[in-house]
Structure 1
């Protein structure tokens, strides 16, 4: 990389003395097939940071020779790695939904709970009654908890407002969270999370809500530039494939890239639609069909799997990750942090589930949580790798082997995390 001005050595920070360095270095795109098995784990390698960028990745002594006046961060013979990219969360919400957890334990299915006014609708009622300041204050410690597990980039969806004004104010809360840093926050408009209950009582309610999303919400989001993505819950009983196509086409006209909640509980053809429309990601996919797998494998769409959700719902099944990788799909993993189906704030536990439930190798799980998570947000050229020119999103874990993170499930091993060259977590 060419530096147009001389680099000041006194404002460079070196991460050195790592037992292993998981660089995940390689192409600045989603990894597929056998590529997912190579996390490029090295020994004796450190990272130099200046400002918000990585300026060198090399042997420790080479870095010290190049930057003799640099500040050093001692990795303590731990694992030096890219920060995790949590590419699917619903972090802005009010109260927990403990009662639904018990209902599911008695055999009441998720969609039946929703039909009774629970599920998403319970969180909608709750969010509408809360102030922006309250929602913000509740979200901040959730982001801190994610950072404590090594997350440096997080996507946050709206979707618990389900009116134009409540969706917009949720997105404004997300923008406020992004503004305080240091985590890198990506906003997604999920106004199409459900049909609001008040619209269901109207003869024309469903069509009216689709019109409201297309003609009012998306234009308003575009005017304020509140979201990078639009997402639709495309699932039998929620939004159909034709409805989803219409909404996504409208969102695209208003400058948003596309995501889908796809084939989570039943195969409804959402994965095929995601591939056909060039969506950045299709998420969930526990009920994906062979046709859906083939479509994603032949597309640029990242398949974001959420194993904690299926575990928490007690479904006894997961997305067919091994078949998807072998077919050539690009797999990412994320927490799906939300109050009803995945109240999870530990990204390392997602790695555990990726190995034990999805049957990924440790290296594949790391790629799914870094490089491919970045690709699921359109950021594959920005973050997810320890590589010169990439954003300084870095974590240090107190273990001597990268495989320990999925192995010691529930352990808090992250000691230091930096997002964009700024500390977002220290264990001390």
Structure 2
């Protein structure tokens, strides 16, 4: 299939973009892309590809933007229930501790997810994944973490694997048993850390090849934050996971600077996410590493806070910056990477070009797949979008509507 007559074809070629190199879109005016099977075969100008491949079936982009599918490298997309009441409580001035005392917070979603039937859990998650895909995300990272018991965490993993096999959307799966201290262990958190390290992770290592043989091992993540896991506990969990062969990630420095970003750089984490209160010296350490800094602008927006990731400082230090939605039921129920791009332009100080690169090739690096997705280059997976607009700057400029007209996933077209 030959997609031609794109007003702007954004290739994002050349690999992940570090520091002030972010925003190199590789624009081809009147561009075209040739797809053979699941892969990209060629990119170039429309007149050249139409002349060189006259017998290919054609898809006219009709003077609109064509770009790589978005990659969302941080979501909590699998859960049951909602926390709409908590949203209203926050608007009425209730604090996080007030909400916890009323039975809210992460543990309310844990209760709902534990008690949910598998059918309900899959139905609710399926709807979210379909919306994610229709808004232009072709690969999404999804974390467990609303089970906090081996049985429920494995049920969530099985649900995700089943959903991926029935949908075009591709998943990068993360085990987040260390999302919060399980309620049964609230007064003995070190025992829960011991359970994660000595039971959950070894069981997962044995379980995975029998249920997901087509996938490499999942990521293991930890929420390093006051009230969740301290730095020493986070180190123990991540070092144990790494020793078992799992790639690692970390939630770091969202509310308190505990040293999570520094730990990520030291341990070679694939990404460190949030990074709202990361000190300058830790930004420098992160920027000198291969760890991707993932900003989640929908979360402070969802909390009506004005503290965002210091993206400009990360770029000035030479870091790798990506953006994600942080889709979750408590602080950021957002299934749309276009909105994350719009927020990144307004509150992170990124240009539309930088935000697009952070949502594609750098986001792919944040899940270890920049060699497969995130750009339009021969040999890479044919994951791309045809927008309904003639200029890429409409991404960021416009919000509150879906600018995606067509999603192409592994060479198959899906109209939105």
What TM-score bracket applies, with the shorter chain setting the length?
over 0.9
Tell whether 2:59 aligns with 1:54: no
What is the CA RMSD across the aligned residues, in angstroms? 1.3
Relative distance call for 1:376 and 1:72 in structure 2 (3 A) is same
CA displacement at 1:206 relative to structure 2? 1.3
Q: Secondary structure at the match of 1:46?
A: strand
User: Is residue 89–residue 336 contact of structure 1 (8 Å, CA) maintained in 2?
Assistant: yes
The answer for the alignment partner of 2:395 in structure 1 is 405
- Within 5 Å, which residues of 2 pair with 1:241-252? 241-252=231-242
Choose the corresponding residue for 1:25, options 13, 19, 24. 13
Deviations 1:215-270 (A, max 9, x none): 11111211222652000000122101111010011111222100001111111111
Tell whether 2:221 aligns with 1:199: no
The answer for the alignment partner of 2:126 in structure 1 is 140
CA displacement at 1:420 relative to structure 2? 1.8
Q: Which runs of 5+ in 2 are unaligned?
A: none
How many correspondences in the alignment? 409
The answer for the alignment partner of 2:173 in structure 1 is 187
CA displacement at 1:62 relative to structure 2? 2.1
TM-score (norm 1): 0.93
Choose the corresponding residue for 1:64, options 45, 50, 54. 50
User: Is residue 177–residue 185 contact of structure 1 (8 Å, CA) maintained in 2?
Assistant: no
Hey, what's the Cα distance between the residues in 1 that align with 2:90 and 2:366? 30
TM-score (norm 2): 0.96
User: Is residue 184–residue 420 contact of structure 1 (8 Å, CA) maintained in 2?
Assistant: no
Deviations 1:339-389 (A, max 9, x none): 101000111011100000111011110010001100000001110001101
CA displacement at 1:181 relative to structure 2? 3.0
Deviations 1:164-199 (A, max 9, x none): 111111111111122123111110000000001111
Hey, what's the Cα distance between the residues in 2 that align with 1:386 and 1:166? 38
Hey, what's the Cα distance between the residues in 1 that align with 2:235 and 2:101? 24
CA displacement at 1:285 relative to structure 2? 0.9
- When structure 1 is superposed on structure 2, of 52-61 and 62-71 the one drifting more is 62-71
Deviations 1:290-316 (A, max 9, x none): 122111111110000000101111222
Hey, what's the Cα distance between the residues in 2 that align with 1:123 and 1:103? 16
Hey, what's the Cα distance between the residues in 2 that align with 1:218 and 1:261? 18
Tell whether 2:75 aligns with 1:89: yes
Q: Which runs of 4+ in 1 moved over 6 A?
A: none
- Within 5 Å, which residues of 2 pair with 1:24-423? 24-27=12-15, 30-110=16-96, 113-114=99-100, 116-201=102-187, 205-225=188-208, 227-423=217-413
CA displacement at 1:112 relative to structure 2? 5.1
Relative distance call for 1:112 and 1:265 in structure 2 (3 A) is farther
CA displacement at 1:144 relative to structure 2? 1.4
Deviations 1:327-347 (A, max 9, x none): 111110011111101000111
CA displacement at 1:139 relative to structure 2? 1.1
Relative distance call for 1:60 and 1:98 in structure 2 (3 A) is same
User: Is residue 153–residue 419 contact of structure 1 (8 Å, CA) maintained in 2?
Assistant: no
CA displacement at 1:114 relative to structure 2? 3.7
Q: Which runs of 5+ in 1 are unaligned?
A: 1-12
User: Is residue 241–residue 268 contact of structure 1 (8 Å, CA) maintained in 2?
Assistant: yes
